[in-house]
């Protein structure tokens, strides 16, 4: 699955990474009611409004946040049913906690 992400980017089928100033919908953590942050996204090159986005809660006061085990609330969002069909089996790499050697893959 990880190779599928790289292959799709290398062959020009998707844009990897969150797009700066893109109108991602605002999402809220159900545990602390704070705004989630888009940390990774993939978009179709033919229609950037067809995408899969990963939101994380950076709030250290959230009851599910645990810096010691590097755990935070995460949510995957698909912009449409077509985006789900295109991306549901594509895992996205996310560099966590400002460490280049700590990577999580979200599907």
Question: Is pLDDT above 60 for 1?
Answer: no
Q: Per-domain residue ranges for the chain? A: 2-106
Cα(39)–Cα(96) distance, rounded to whole angstroms? 9
Tell the residue number behind the tokens 């888009």, with chain if given: 38
Q: How far is CA 38 from CA 20, 71, 94, 107, in A?
A: 10, 16, 11, 15
Phi/psi for 37 (5° steps) reads: -115, 135
**Token code pair at residue 3:** 């190779």
Average the pLDDT over 2-12 and give the result: 52
Instruction: Give the Cα separation of 5 and 15 in Å (integer).
Output: 10
pLDDT tens digits along 57-92: 888 899 988 777 667 888 999 999 999 998 888 887
């Amino acid at each position: 699955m990880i190779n599928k992400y790289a292959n799709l980017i290398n062959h020009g089928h998707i844009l990897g990474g969150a797009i700066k100033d893109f109108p991602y919908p605002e999402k809220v953590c159900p545990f602390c009611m704070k705004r989630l942050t888009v940390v990774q996204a993939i978009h179709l090159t033919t229609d950037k409004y067809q995408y899969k986005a990963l939101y994380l809660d950076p709030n250290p006061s959230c009851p599910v946040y645990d810096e010691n085990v590097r755990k935070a609330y995460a949510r995957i969002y698909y912009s449409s049913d077509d985006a789900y069909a295109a991306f549901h089996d594509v895992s996205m790499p996310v560099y966590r906690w400002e460490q280049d050697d700590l990577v999580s893959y979200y599907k």
